[in-house]
Chain A
């Protein structure tokens, strides 16, 4: 049903560390992996799964490392990929950085982890906070052998008992990312809000939390249909949330993990005016020059301000001698990414700025055809959510009866924010 073996390879495809879980494949089959990847890349039919004989390779690349799983069966592919990504996350949480060096520096620990996170190809405990309770970086310093924490097998497998804080605090960050796709003739093709609620929980004991949102479905079912509410199209929860309960009465109730985690994510496609609208006029004079006229407009309320706005305008690979003129902000040509970045540190609502750029083009035409990469926009708008979502309450109940106040922050930022050009 799943992985036979897991490998971590360096960028050249050399095995850095591996673990054979099922003993049903020849471990040296991995030598075929890199040549196959290269071949696929050359043929232009790259896929994250490669079949070689009756062995399937599943891989993902992180930094300069390949994480590869192999299987000879009709494996659950979604499971394997989720697991590989989880593995990256665990390594990150253990070593801060995941790169060749951190693998080499911690190989003993990685063997221990690999032994614990998967057994016979079945993923087991992958919660790094729980793992850290019995597999530690300083393992060799321990005098007494650790025991498996209760949480490993508990129904609450993400939180250990006996956590104590002097000051009980909870922080909630509501972060909304706007995905936007605009066609070259300024039609909005897709506009989507992907939000998430991140928590930092510093609470003692085993607290029971309940989160109240202005959820439209909940409001309508409880007869508050008139109040301002948000229709969440799809919601995804951290495994701590009791899903049947939510399905029943839309209550979000959970025992939170300790520390930082993402409680939930949601998606909605209600149409909103694009927060930052960019119009571009590009005049290409082949063999001599190309001129850009870019207009950026902030289409949100005046009392909000977008910070660190970056408008990334792609330019031809062979452009040179940039000249810029802006009514506001600053411009920088970044040849390595073939783009001009127009930065506006602070962009209040309801404003409009202009930028002109001029590049020379060589008289000889380049051989490679340029694609038409879209203009991309990066921004952050604090104290604001596009969707209008609000945290109405966060109830915290613990048997010791302490009081803890939640702190909520809202922020809206760009997601995949692309405007195609002509």
Chain B
């Protein structure tokens, strides 16, 4: 007889029938009826209407029936909170039953009923159960505290349950200890106040380590994870914990092993990195990690994702275990891909031959994704191990000969990277590549091929024909290919100007006139202007030497890596993302590795030697970021300035350059994702060509937050006044190795009440080695606090990694408002009205302009010349300005012909601002 019969009733009036049976006098019939109800519930029918009838069956001696009724309650109590209260009495009674199984069942179930009214009644029974004589009840009650905390944290904390729970850590029974630890970890994660009460100290850690030897495998995981959350005070303690945890590495349960690995990996940071014990630990970690690869595929996957982190953090552990990561034919695809990734990380000159042979084998498999990744891996090997580059290239050539379409395309993409890493070494193969031109149909492969042709145009006799052939379908190409084609043809033209003029004109006109893509158009215009004004400069820009690409790819940024090491075995370690990235409303603290052991100089040397190496920005660019590189190099290059009118002294500083940066920055943006066509881009373009003179001076962007203080985030910025508003021009550069996002900005109180008028808008994610710029409009309605110096502004910038604080000076002239022009008579009256002790004189040296230019320049910055007099050959300019906070300042500027030193007298009621205003004059007149 099986239970399946309970599913078989499908009659109408079923509910009614069940109701009758539930109220039957016969025990057996009652039980059958409850089973039918549960069966209906299981297949998703709504049987909540039977609530009172089922609850009536609760008072029974039959354990099986009781369990079923409890199950029903858990499912429907929330929908029937008022009736659920009927059950309370039985619960309370059951909590005092003579059978511990029933006591535990009652307290366990009650905790699962998330109805406030019931929760109130839970407190007393729970308190008793926490002190029950039977460990089975106590261990259940321990978990129940966590349940209750989840429903009503305040109640748990007020009722002193935290202390009771803490007492259970000293319980004589290891299972009770384990569950108490689990509950505590859970509570600590959600409540910082509780975390203070519950924090583990050395003596509790010791108790836990003792319980570790006696509790179940799951209990061991709870304890290990709890231990990994706390940090011992000193090296000796760390070592002693390691000693007691390492035996767990021999446990048959993979979860126990990985949690033990987490503890050891974290505490190793505190050990002397040259000590014997450290070396022993390194040796002990390798075998269990390898054994995990014989576990079930899902566990293998988790293990591999974690090994990927471990290999990056401590490469020495698995450096000799390359072979265990060789892919087996019947591995699931997710295991194959992860193994491949780790193989590349472990590749070194010693094992490259074997690795290559394997990769070549994989490249002939059937699974397209795996094959592609294998081909790509060959390229990564070439870039990583220079000695093997030649072999890699010839392997890739072999693969190209297979003529398997996606293999060829993938090979061409990676060969482009190899060319970048080893310029002028393997160009002999270009001919072979060109043979496959027609078969390329993927944008990335086409773009890569075009890049190769452009880059080596001088060695490819028919480069012009080849590029021309692409040009025919220009309009239908992917933007990535279009941009690359544009650049390649310009390169070709610069290398062989005589016979390619027509071609370049054709592409420029296609790009600028026939394209809707602003990025393409902008780049077309830039090239066009460059080529028409100064071909030599164009050459310097377009054919500039490219920075070498470095070997390691997609390394995890070091701070994130450290955080992830503290989360080994968890979801975060599988996603390679901090928990905050996918757990909603997590208030818990970020976990960080303990500070490194500082004993021994060798150690310190190691640390410093390691850091710069790890922080290298490292990406093998895809075709898109190659374009990025190219353009990045353009910025600040000396050749840019030819475009600007002579009034701009250096190419790096003036506003125009930052506009250009915007323009190019946005250009990159669109390569990476759907293009964000802001007015900014077009406006910027207008600026380049129109050169409006009426704009207020914008100081060059300066570094506000260097990347080493910003965990890879570099912030540059300046302030500008445009359209009667103050803007913070800010550029974020991601010098870390992971995407950044979630940018936000906040200002501290400041002298002028500056605050952002709208949220910070930066395109996200910001990929490594890319910049994002924005103009943030500011309002002056914020809280005011006088700062010293007056123009100082403290800013907090947040991203997905951390919050950073920086301080900068706001150039005062951006605070000058547009309606600062005083009526002549008012000016005269005011001037007289202000006592003469308020007048202060400054000298402005070395100004190379005459009176008119000066007026114009000042006017552009909202310093208005109200009157001009000529006294004894000297020009006297009378000026007024008004600050955003309504402070008026009057000025008299004395200019002697032939003397570059001007005299400035300021008069106003708030003398605090004088020095700032003098500074503003200096800045404006010298720029």
Contacts and interface: CB of A to CB of B under 8 A. Distances in A.
Given A77-B569, A82-B255, A72 B326 contact: no
Interface in A184-213: 184, 189-190, 192, 194
Interface string B104-115: 110010011010
Interface in B814-854: none
Nearest to A155: B214
B367 interface: yes
Interface in A88-119: 101, 104-109, 111-112, 115, 119
Interface in A210-250: 233-239, 242-244, 246-247
A20 to B, nearest CB: 7
Contacts of B173: 153
A111 B369 contact: no
A140 B31 contact: yes
A335 interface: no
Nearest to A139: B64
A47 B102 CA distance: 41
Given A238-B252, A267-B287, A77 B574 contact: yes
B902 interface: no
A244 B249 CA distance: 11
A85 B323 contact: no
Nearest to A420: B361
Interface in A124-152: 124-127, 134, 139-140, 142, 145-148, 152
Contacts of B244: 244
Contact of B101 (A17, A124, A145, A192): A145
Contacts of B182: 1, 122
B247 A54 contact: no
Contacts of B62: 145
A79 to B, nearest CB: 4
A108 B68 contact: yes
Interface in B290-330: 290-291, 294, 296-299, 301-303, 323-324, 326, 328-330
B64 A122 contact: no
A76 B299 CA distance: 12
Nearest to B7: A104
B216 A125 contact: yes
Contacts of A157: 175, 215-216
B67 A1 contact: no
Interface in A13-39: 15-17, 20-24
B221 A44 contact: no
A333 to B, nearest CB: 20
Contact of A78 (B71, B100, B246, B569): B569
Nearest to A141: B64
A324 interface: no
Nearest to A248: B247
A115 B71 contact: yes
Interface string B334-368: 10000000000000000000100110010011111
B586 to A, nearest CB: 8
B179 to A, nearest CB: 7
B879 interface: no
B3 to A, nearest CB: 5
Contacts of B584: 54, 72
A207 to B, nearest CB: 18
A84 B218 CA distance: 13
B248 interface: yes
Interface stretch (A287-295, A341-349, A364-372): A364-372
B259 interface: yes
B380 interface: no
Given A54-B584, A153-B176, A79 B221 contact: yes
Contacts of A267: 287, 290-291, 294
A49 B574 contact: yes
A51 B583 CA distance: 11
Contacts of A194: 294
Contact of A48 (B42, B136, B297): B297
A123 to B, nearest CB: 4
A271 B366 CA distance: 31
Interface in A303-320: none
A239 B216 contact: yes
Contact of A54 (B354, B573, B583): B583
A265 interface: yes
Contacts of A321: none
B290 A17 contact: no
A4 B351 CA distance: 44
Given A76-B570, A81-B298, A145-B61, A183 B101 contact: no
B88 interface: no
A209 B38 CA distance: 46
A76 B582 contact: no
Contact of B287 (A104, A112, A124, A234): A234
Contacts of A106: 2-3
B323 to A, nearest CB: 5
B247 A244 contact: yes
A76 B569 contact: yes
A22 B150 contact: yes
A120 B287 contact: no
A75 interface: yes
Contacts of B225: 1, 76
B112 A371 contact: no
Given A1-B186, A111-B68, A120-B147, A82 B253 contact: yes
B247 A247 contact: yes
Contacts of B287: 233-234, 267
Nearest to B140: A119
A148 B100 contact: yes
A153 B139 contact: yes
Contacts of A82: 217, 253-255, 299
A370 B247 CA distance: 46
A74 to B, nearest CB: 4
A302 interface: no
B99 interface: yes
A120 B225 CA distance: 17
A242 B101 contact: no
A106 B1 CA distance: 10
Interface in B114-148: 114, 134-136, 139-140, 143, 146-147
B296 A81 contact: yes
A78 B368 CA distance: 29
Contacts of B61: 145
B136 A152 contact: yes
B570 A77 contact: yes
Contact of B222 (A16, A85, A122, A125): A122
Contacts of B205: none
A60 interface: yes
A244 B213 contact: yes
A51 B717 CA distance: 38
Contacts of A371: 329, 365-367
Given A60-B298, A190-B324, A236-B291, A108 B64 contact: yes
A56 interface: yes
Given A72-B584, A79-B221, A374 B329 contact: yes
A153 B135 contact: yes
Contact of B64 (A79, A83, A105, A140): A140
Given A146-B63, A244-B244, A75 B570 contact: yes
8 contacts: A1-B222, A23-B114, A54-B583, A85-B299, A115-B105, A120-B146, A190-B326, A239-B216
Given A23-B114, A122-B179, 4 more contacts: A77-B569, A79-B218, A81-B296, A82-B255
The 10 closest A-B pairs by CB, nearest first: A234-B287, A105-B2, A243-B247, A371-B366, A153-B135, A74-B579, A123-B218, A48-B298, A247-B247, A155-B214
Interface of A: 1, 15-17, 20-24, 44-49, 51, 54, 56, 58, 60, 71-79, 81-85, 101, 104-109, 111-112, 115, 119-120, 122-127, 134, 139-140, 142, 145-148, 152-153, 155, 157, 179, 181, 183-184, 189-190, 192, 194, 233-239, 242-244, 246-247, 262, 264-265, 267, 369-374, 416, 418, 420
